[in-house]
Amino acid sequence: MSQFTYQNGELHAEGVPLSRIAAAVGTPAYVYSQTAMADAYGRFAGALADADLNARVCYALKANSNLAVIRVLAALGAGADVVSGGELERALAAGIAGPDIVFSGVGKTADEMRAAIQADIGQFNVESVPELERLSDVASAMSAGVDIAVRVNPDVDADTHHKISTGRHHDKFGIDIDRALDVYAHAASLPGVDPVAVAVHIGSQLTDMQPFRDAFARVAVLVRELRTAGHDIRKLDLGGGLGIDYGQHEPPDPADYAGVVAETVGDLGCELVFEPGRYLAGPAGVLLTEVIYVKDAETRAFAIIDAAMNDLMRPALYDARHEFMPLKEASDGPQTTYDIVGPVCETADTFATDRQLPTLAAGELLVIRDTGAYGAVMASGYNSRPLIAEVLVHGDQFAVVRSRQEIATILAQETLADWQS
């Protein structure tokens, strides 16, 4: 959060007072710092370079797929990791070239495969035998050849929230690593696909290096076995998952992560692909919100804000903790304990309980920290609440990079049935 600081008693995003953005754009709104994203990219890519790794960073669009955010990272040299046809179109529209795109995900359709082949993407990460065979059929019908990685499931517990762990045997992702030799032999027999890589991704928000070490070590053994079997494995896709600090622990150091990579797979002579998302975008964003009411109940005080679970799903979906900051710098005055809640008609629309903040009143502004990843991309229109604005800040400038949705626009996409006219 180094780019969200108090200056003269008022919270700024880089050089812009957040109150100025609230006045111009309204609340709630997501606000992103371009400099924070660039700093995070520099730390991550720099650590890989310092470890003398042949590395390619492909930003995971699922974290935040706003075109302006993608463009910031593309300008720094990032490729893209996409998981849908829509994300593929976003990556291309933001200026990332097809060969710099990796297509991941467990349920690619034939139409998505065709679009990706037409875009000449660099790699498909295949997650099942049926997907492998369909990709072969699609590529062959297009007289094309595509490079693939088989995503293996190493049965390593990422020791993170169970809903964002992806590398255990019972998770839906990847192919059991013990079946990999047979699957690669099958892939080598199929037309249109060239199995030149191995992919692995064990989950998100990892703060301990040991799960990475365990998974990468298993992959290194597999690469040697595949080469012995005659497969030309030239590339390793090590996924993403590096965690950030949500206010509960020290974030991992990218240098430590790069050290684990070098220790486990650095001697294989492979090009390495990394797919960070949260690490690059999460701390670079805040959710700017206003207190609607303060409600004093018999057992507690509620701060009811204009942001809701449809704007930021993480607390309701993952029991995730986010820190709050008032726009006015707190003095040593009195603190009050609040449950901070939104206006949606669900008890789950609760952002925090028993949280100490300076005494609040209606009309005061707050930010919810570290919401640049898995915030706007997971938003919905629940309770017919329009999607909110997104704002990018750079130095003393800011720009709306997604307009606030209007309810009239939502209604215009719906029609009555013929018999209701």
Q: Over the stretch 64-92, which tens digit does the pLDDT of each residue have? A: 999 999 999 999 999 999 999 999 999 99
Name the stretches of the chain with pLDDT < 50. 158, 160-168
Question: 34-279 maps to which CATH number?
Answer: 3.20.20.10
Cα of 174 vs its chain's centroid, Å: 19
- For residue 279, count CB atoms less than 10 angstroms from its CB and return exposed for 0-12, middle for 13-18, buried for 19 or more: buried
CB 375 within 8 A of CB 287: yes
Characterize the bridge pairing of strands 389-394 and 29-33.
parallel
Q: Look up residue 115 and give its two tokens.
A: 């679009």
- C-alpha–C-alpha distance, residues 194 and 191, integer Å: 8
For the stretch 224-230, contacts whose Cβ atoms lie closer than 8 Å and that sit 24 or more positions apart, written own/partner, are 224/268, 225/181, 226/180, 226/181, 226/184, 226/198, 229/181, 229/184, 229/185
pLDDT attached to residue 1: 55
Instruction: Tell me the CATH class for 4-32+282-412.
Output: mainly beta
Q: Give 288's contacts (C-beta < 8 A, 6+ positions apart).
A: 18, 21, 22, 27, 28, 29, 30, 31, 365, 366, 367
- C-alpha–C-alpha distance, residues 49 and 139, integer Å: 35
- C-alpha–C-alpha distance, residues 323 and 22, integer Å: 19
* Intrachain domains 4-32+282-412 and 34-279 with the same fold: no
- C-alpha–C-alpha distance, residues 93 and 101, integer Å: 12
For the entire predicted model, the pTM comes to 0.94
- C-alpha–C-alpha distance, residues 277 and 66, integer Å: 13
- For residue 62, count CB atoms less than 10 angstroms from its CB and return exposed for 0-12, middle for 13-18, buried for 19 or more: buried
Active site residue: 297, 345, 416, 417, which one? 345
Identify the residue whose tokens are 């952002």: 351
pLDDT attached to residue 45: 98
pLDDT attached to residue 162: 45
pLDDT attached to residue 172: 56
At 337 the three-state DSSP class reads strand
DSSP, res 406? P
pLDDT attached to residue 74: 98
CB 370 within 8 A of CB 4: no
Largest CA distance in the chain: 72
How many residues are recorded in the chain? 421
Phi and psi of 86, rounded to 5°?
A: -65, -45
- C-alpha–C-alpha distance, residues 317 and 252, integer Å: 24
- C-alpha–C-alpha distance, residues 333 and 122, integer Å: 57
End-to-end, the C-alpha distance of the chain in Å comes to 53
Cis peptide bond prior to 386, omega within 30° of 0: no
Q: Give 68's contacts (C-beta < 8 A, 6+ positions apart).
A: 32, 390, 392, 399, 401
Residue 270 annotated in active site: no
- C-alpha–C-alpha distance, residues 283 and 86, integer Å: 25
Q: What number of other Cβ atoms are within 10 A of residue 232's Cβ?
A: 10
Nearest to 326 by CA among 369, 353, 365, 293: 365
Where exactly are the structural domains of the chain? 4-32+282-412, 34-279
